Amino acid sequence: MKILHVLFLCFVFFWGFSAHAVSIIRDTEIEETVTGWAKKIFKAVNLPPENAEIVLVNDPSINAFVVGGQTIFVHTGLLTQATSIDDVMFVLSHETGHIVGGHITRGITAMEKAKTTTLISTILGGILAVAAGRPDAGIAIMIGSQGSALGQFLTYRQTEESSADRIAVDVMKKLGYSMQGFVNIMQHLRRLERLNDESDLGYLRTHPMTQSRVHDLGRFTENAPPVKKDPMFERIKAKLIGFMQKPQDVLNHYKGNTFSDRYAQAIAFYQMHDLNKSFQLLDTLIKEKPNDPYLYEMKGQFSFEKGFIDEAIKNYEQANKIKPHQPLIELALAQAYLEKDDTNLAQKALPILSRATVEEPDLALGWRLMATAYNKLGKDLESDYAMAEYERASNKLPAAQKRAKKLIEHFNKQSPYYQKLQDIIALKEEE
């Protein structure tokens, strides 16, 4: 599991966009599992399931959101604090409702309309008031205009949230999940509301008040069947908690002998630098599930991070054999190869890296590893090209373009590298 820090654009009420640094977690097992759930939901609402994409945001709060397109951003807190897969499925279905309804595009239009309304009201009203000798009234008009536009926008947003809730209800029913999941999420949010005492600021929220949502969907939650028991939900929840909470807290929580218990324990013991206990648990799990790629991947990660490169290679190769063409597993295997002072392994790493960078062209690690592989093989021009891609993927576009302009003269126009370098040179900063 890797944590990446990226710059992300998000809404700030109706004043436009703001850039915030957020942490993105990359983990093949969790991404594949949650994406599989999202595909079921997409199919239920007649969206192409292959378009479903999940991005894990390293944030402890219960939340998920969409910002356009068909990507759902899921906070890790949703997975670690949910009590069942039904909880998660309702939230994913709700966010899919926004995609189906085109709410993001319409929301931007509504935001711009509110913004324009505020500016017009402020300018005209303020000028007239000041011209009449009442500058204090001009200030009052400015404040009132902003409040009115904000209220209009948030009313619009709450309507869209209610619409997404109704779509989620239909999806839950169609897929056979329990609306008790919705109840569980709302109960948790109610506790947060009591702690924050925001009940008197309901109109300033982008979602309807929890009590209002519970009331609106009450007829769908009455006599809801029990939530589902889902081993994969329990497993990825245990994995996240194992990596993100204090090891002793993990061991206090996961005391049993289920697969998820031992999975979390193996991670906790590793975090406590007790590699023997961690490997003993992982080996037991591997014996029970010998074709599980993620167990070998985890053992490979722990081995690599402790400097046992040969053991890491053996486990990553097995993971890659069982689950081929998974970019994150391929990158981990290539990285282990390149830790060895062996040109044969460097040569072996190149086709793996070529596949991985095609699948994940914006993941900087892949290009850095490719530059290292070419360097070990004495291919300086190719290594320099990979470094230009690394700088591009690292949001260092000026450095990437400077390198590309120097490098492009060394390749003929028929070379694939020539075209790729031209693409880098042609990029604009906002892209």
**Rounded CA gap, 332 and 98, in Å?**
36
Distances in whole angstroms, Cα of residue 386 to Cα of each of 64, 150, 332, 372, 394? 35, 48, 18, 9, 12
Domains of the chain, residue spans? 1-244
Greatest pairwise CA separation for the chain in angstroms: 85
Residue 294 DSSP class: H
> What span, in angstroms and rounded, lies between the C-alpha atoms of 57 and 70?
16
The full DSSP string for 173-229 is: HHHT--THHHHHHHHHHHHHHHHHT-GGGGGG-SS--HHHHHHHTHHHHTTPPPPPP
54 beta partners? 72
H or E element in which residue 249 lies: helix 247-253
- Beta bridge partners, 53, equal 71
CA 304/CA 333 separation, integer angstroms: 10
Cα torsion angle, 57, 63, 69, 70, sign? positive
Phi, psi of 303 (to 5 degrees): -65, -45
Query: Token pair of 29, please?
Result: 């097992």
CA–CA dist 47, 41 (Å, integer): 8
Q: Return per-residue pLDDT of the chain as tens, 431 residues.
A: 765 544 444 432 222 333 455 689 999 999 999 999 999 999 999 999 999 999 999 999 888 988 878 899 999 999 999 999 999 999 999 999 989 977 554 444 444 444 444 444 444 444 444 444 444 444 443 344 444 444 443 444 567 778 888 899 999 999 999 999 888 888 877 777 666 654 443 333 444 555 666 656 666 667 778 888 999 999 999 999 999 999 999 999 999 999 999 999 999 999 999 999 999 999 999 999 999 999 999 999 999 999 999 999 999 999 999 999 999 999 999 999 999 999 999 999 999 999 999 999 999 999 999 999 999 999 999 999 999 999 999 999 999 999 999 999 999 999 999 999 999 999 986 55
Strands 71-75 and 64-65: antiparallel
The one-letter amino acid code at 150 reads L
Alpha-carbon gap, residue 212 to 389, rounded angstroms: 50
